[in-house]
Chains A and B, each alone.
Chain A
Amino acid sequence: MNHDSNQGVRFLAPVRDLGRAGVFLFTAITHMRLTRLQLAETLRQVYFAGARSLVIIVTGGFFVGLVLSLQTYDTLTRFGAGDAVSTVLALSLFRELGPVLTTLLFAGRAGTSITAEIGLMRATEQLDALDLMAIDPMERIVQPRFIACLIAVPALVLIFNVTAIAGGLVFAVFMMGSDPILFWGNMQSTVELWRDFGHGMVKACAFGFLAAWLAVYFGWTARPTSEGVALATTQTVIATSISVLILDFVLSAFML
């Protein structure tokens, strides 16, 4: 740290951070062990990261579906294509909005709490205590949270998509009086299982990986002070949001 006056080192700092994050990820993966205890702990983390995020995901999804169909319905009826609302809804949800919005909400709801939890464990020397007891904190603390995020994000994306379609259905069918058979029929005739839905789920898994990695990394490397934990939590949200949006573009460009 006393080299910070040196210009070269300051510009190299982001590169070094990236390298540290990479090494951290590598260690976390190579230290992976599957024992009964690990499995139970992972399931507990699935509860904390996944099931406890359901309220925000379901509410968010429902209103996104509602507003999306409201806006597209208004625009499409000007061209006499009001029936295409379910197509627009399903395609934009499966391909973009579902994975992206879910991960952004997840980073704010669960990613931050994981960062803060691990950061506080670091600050209160609980991680060192585990180390002293010959329990690998990487294996006991990081790994279950990492895997839990990896499972929770795609699961939440699926639930988000279902509730958003339900929101669109409520608006189009119950409020605007569209025909429900036409609503489902148009959706089924245009949305393809692999090309639209499958690619969206590939994105969801990639975003889950990113959110999991960044959340545990920033917690693990948080400076052991209250400011350090606060900063790490902020960084988790910023880094996850930005990298998810960039990765979204990259994956879309590759898969189209």
Chain B
Amino acid sequence: MKSSHQIEFTAGLFLLVAIAALIFLAVQATDRGVVTGGSYQVTAYFSNIGGLKPRARVSMGGVTVGLVESISLDPDTFEARVVMSISERFSDLPEDTSASILTAGILGDQFVGLEPGGSPEPLREGDRIMLTNSAMQLEQLISRYMFNTEGED
């Protein structure tokens, strides 16, 4: 049987090890999202977002610059409203940047691809991306090809 002094010392040591584990896991094994540090939000409206989900990545030229914060349906226009967080590091994207919903691989995850425009004005917090391309839907493509008809929408 250990003395009570030793027991308390070991218990304290045990808690210290646990705290060290907490710090190690928090720092080494995780990332505070793609958007480390500051970020700003921009909105884009799409007529169809396909299978886009919150927390999908937002990329420009293949580089991840942010992530999808939320998706909702606009009550007036019935368009999908996609709010994106873009990292502060990419704070000088042109104002006329366009957004399209792309698929990684043929059946992979969907993400938002940004295409830079040429405007000297940068996108700011709360801005809206005007030029958007909706998601390509495999079913529509197939039916268009099979029945050789134009989609109604």
Contacts and interface: CB of A to CB of B under 8 A. Distances in A.
Nearest to A154: B18
Contact residues of B: prevailing secondary structure: helix
A241 interface: no
Residue among A51, A188, A197 with max Cβ neighbours from chain B (10 Å): A51
A54 B33 contact: no
A197 B33 contact: no
Contacts, number: 80
A197 B11 contact: no
Contact of A44 (B11, B17, B25): B11
A237 interface: no
> Which size bracket describes the interface of A in this complex?
20 to 34
A159 B13 CA distance: 13
Interface in B5-31: 7-8, 10-15, 17-18, 21-22, 24-26, 28-31
Residue among B18, B26, B30, B32 with max Cβ neighbours from chain A (10 Å): B30
A24 to B, nearest CB: 26
B21 A162 contact: yes
A159 B21 contact: yes
Given A155-B18, A158-B18, 10 more contacts: A44-B8, A46-B15, A47-B7, A47-B11, A50-B14, A51-B10, A159-B18, A188-B31, A192-B32, A194-B32
Contacts of B14: 46-47, 50-51, 54, 155
Contacts of A51: 10-11, 13-14
B149 interface: no
B26 A193 contact: yes
A50 B8 CA distance: 12
A88 to B, nearest CB: 13
Interface string A39-60: 0100110110011001000000
B29 A90 contact: yes
- Among all A-B residue pairs, the 8 with the closest Cβ atoms: A155-B18, A47-B11, A51-B14, A158-B21, A46-B11, A193-B30, A162-B21, A191-B30
20 contacts: A43-B7, A43-B8, A43-B12, A44-B8, A46-B15, A50-B11, A51-B10, A90-B29, A155-B21, A156-B18, A158-B18, A158-B21, A161-B25, A162-B24, A184-B29, A188-B28, A191-B29, A192-B31, A193-B30, A196-B30
